[in-house]
Amino acid sequence: MTNVTRTILITFSDHTVFRNLFLFPGGFFDQLRERLASDKGTRVVFLMRTRDKEKYDAMFDTDLKDRLIACYADAPARTTSLRKLFRFFYAYFVFTDTTKILVTIGMRVGEPPAASNKLLTPVRWLIAHTVGKMTFMRRRFVPWLFSKIYEHDRTFKDVFDVYKPDLVFSAHIYGDYDAHVLAEARRRGIRTVGMPSGWDHVDKYFLPFHVDRLFVPSEQVATHAMKFQGYSRSEISITGYPHFDFFTSKRAEMPREEILKRFSLPPGSRYIFYVSGSSYCPDEPDIIEQVLQWIEEGVFGPDIRLVLRPYLGSRSKDREFDEKKFKRIATHPKVVYYDHKSWDTLEGSIVFMNLMRHAAAVMCVYSSVFLEAAIFGSPLVATPFDGHHVRPYSRSIRRFSDFEHFKEVLEVGAIRETYSFGELKKALVEYLKDPSIDQKKRERMRREVCAISDGRASARLLDAVFAAVPEVRAGTL
C-alpha cells in the first residue's frame, strides 16, 4: 500500500505518442519521472494496446514501478450496423475542404476515397450544416449516445475499477481507442484533458468527445479546434510541439561533415533533401529525374547530390509502390537513399533532423516535414505539379493544397510552390546560390506555425496536465 492520493491515466495508443512523449531525452516522459520521484502522492498509469506490451514494456521498468505503471487493454472490436451508422452520423458533423477531398477524391492513386461511397456526399454535407452546427448535439447528445451504444462492451471498465483515475489524459484524441477511454471517463464523471498527436488531425472529422481542457501546439491548431470541433478559447491551452524541444537542443546537432561522411558524400559537397509522398504522389520520378539531370549538367554548381527518403508509412502497399516508383533511379550515382523510419529510434531521428538541418533545400509535396524543416531554417520547395503528366484535379497533386491545415501555412509564403519544371529550376538555382532568400518568411513560419520553439513545450504540457488534476482526495490507494 502506498501513500498515493491521486492517479493520472494517460493513453498511449499511437506511435506518434511515442514520438511526442517518450522518444527524446529530457522530454515529457523523463520530466514526468523526475516529478514523480519527488511527488510521492501521484501515480501515473499509461494505458496501451496489448500488442504493444513487448515493444514498450521495458520503458516502465524503473524504481517507480508502483507509481509509474504500464497497463494493457484493448478497445471494443465488435462492430454492428448501428455502430457504423452512428459513426457516420457524428463524424460528418464536420465537413471541411479536407473532409471533401478525403471522401470524394481520396489520397492514394488507384484506391477509393475514405468512406468510399461518393453518392453519400450530399448527406454528409447536410449533416454538417444542420445538426452538426447544434451545440447540444455536439456536446451532449453524441457523447451520451456513444456511451449508451457501447454500454455492454466496456473493455476499459476493469482498468478504471482497479486504478480509479482522478484525471484522464488522452494523448491521441483522434484515435478510436481514446474515444472509448474518454467514454468510460464520462460515465464516471472523471475530468479529462487531451491533445491531438499530429498537426493535421483537427480538420478531418468530428470527435465524439470534448475533453475538459485541450492542449494544442499552436495558435493555428487552436483556431481549427474552435472552428471545426466547437471548443471555446477558454478551454484551450497552447503548449507547443513537445518533440520540437529536442530539435532545438544541442544534443540533436551533428556537424555537417559527419552527415556527409555518413552518406559517403564528398567533403564540401551540398545536397538537396527530397522526402517522398509515395502513392500520394505517383509522378515524383519525373521530377526527381529532372533534378538529377540538372545536377549532372552543373545547373546548381559543382558537387551537388540528391538525398532521397522514400515514403516510410506503415502500409506494405506504400513501401512496394515506392520501390517500383524509384527502381529506375536506384543506382544513379548522384542519389543517396535514407530509408530509416524517422521516429522509431533516437539515432535514426537525429540523423533525419540533421539531414534537414544541413540541406541546401528540402523538397516534398505537402507534408508535415515542412514544419520540421522550418525549425532549422532550411529553404523549402514544394512541387505541386504532376511531372510530365496532365492530370484532372481529382487525381492531381494540386488537390492537397486545399487541405485546411495547409492553407495558412502556404499563405505565410515560406514554402516556395513550383507549378512547372521551369519554376522548380528557378527556385532551386536561387536557393542554392543564396540560402538567405525567404529567410524572414521562414522565421515567420517558425513563429506562427511551428509555434513556441523555446525548448519548454514538454514542461508546459506536463505542468498543464498536473494542474488539471482535481483536488487531492483523502486516504491511500
Domains and CATH numbers, the chain: 6-77+153-244+456-468 (3.40.50.2000), 249-448 (3.40.50.2000)
Q: pLDDT (tens digit, 9 = 90+) per residue, 408-447?
A: 889 999 999 999 999 999 999 999 999 999 999 999 999 8
Let me know if 84 is exposed, middle or buried by CB neighbors in 10 A (0-12, 13-18, 19+). Answer: exposed
Distance CA 442, CA 416 (A): 10
Predicted local distance difference test score (pLDDT) of residue 476: 42
What is the rounded end-to-end Cα distance, in angstroms, of the chain? Answer: 6
Predicted local distance difference test score (pLDDT) of residue 366: 83
Distance CA 37, CA 64 (A): 7
Distance CA 347, CA 352 (A): 9
Predicted local distance difference test score (pLDDT) of residue 165: 97
**Amino acid symbol at 74:** D
- 230, 203 Cβ separation under 8 angstroms: no
Predicted local distance difference test score (pLDDT) of residue 112: 66
A 10 A CB-CB count for 437 gives: 14
Task: Show the low-confidence residues of the chain (pLDDT under 50).
Answer: 1, 474-477
pTM: 0.92
At 4, list the grid cell: 498515493
Calculate the alpha carbon distances from 435 to 336, 339, 342, 359, 381 in Å: 22, 26, 25, 10, 12
Q: pLDDT (tens digit, 9 = 90+) per residue, 184-210?
A: 999 999 999 999 998 888 999 999 999
